[in-house]
Amino acid sequence: MSALLLGDTAPDFEVETTQGPLHFHDAIDGHWAILFSHPADFTPVCTTELGMTAKLKDEFDRRGVKVFGLSVDPIEDHRAWIGDIEETQGVALNFPLIADPSKTVATAYGMIHPNADNTATVRSLFVIGPDKKIKLKIEYPASTGRNFNEVLRVVDSLQLTAKHKVATPANWMHGEDVIIVPTVSDEDAKKAFPDGFRTLKPYLRMVAQPDA
């Protein structure tokens, strides 16, 4: 299967998770979602990542985001790993961890690296919109823990773009000025942003973040 591209529909699947059976498209219907994979259970970096994700549950909930972890290990190993996560990270896992021993999901999402020396999933992260389209994908090496502040920042940017016709500049953080997308005419921009905007170049117009 060819690699998934931004804008593609996220493949649907039915799996077993640590919170029971899951039909993915039904579970995420009308919500934003994050699906991220781990090479294997009982791996050190991923243990810290799952703990951090659990600690950020309120932040994901506030953004209407459902989070799902995945590895190709069986459900029994997942359940054993949960105990280690709680013991070492000081938080109980509060989102589904998908068991994919058949590698069905990993294959559908291109999570198996063809040049890897084993069948472990690469460390992929997908952000999926309420329309079930892939909005972002990132891959990390096994040695580098994911920055979940960056994941939240990207979600904020994607949700802002989905609601308003704006883009976010380099290093943008929530509350900072944003860019009016070039497809919006000046006339329409005046209607959409009645408090005004700054034109640095005809293609670069800055405006205060809506709903800040």
The catalytic residue positions are: 46
Longest dimension (CA), the chain: 59
Beta strands, E only, the chain: 14-17, 20-23, 32-37, 65-71, 97-99, 123-128, 134-140, 166-167, 178-180, 198-201, 204-207
Burial class (CB in 10 A: 0-12, 13-18, 19+), 68: buried
| Sequence-separated (6 or more) residues with CB below 8 Å from residue 66 | 27, 28, 31, 32, 33, 34, 60, 95
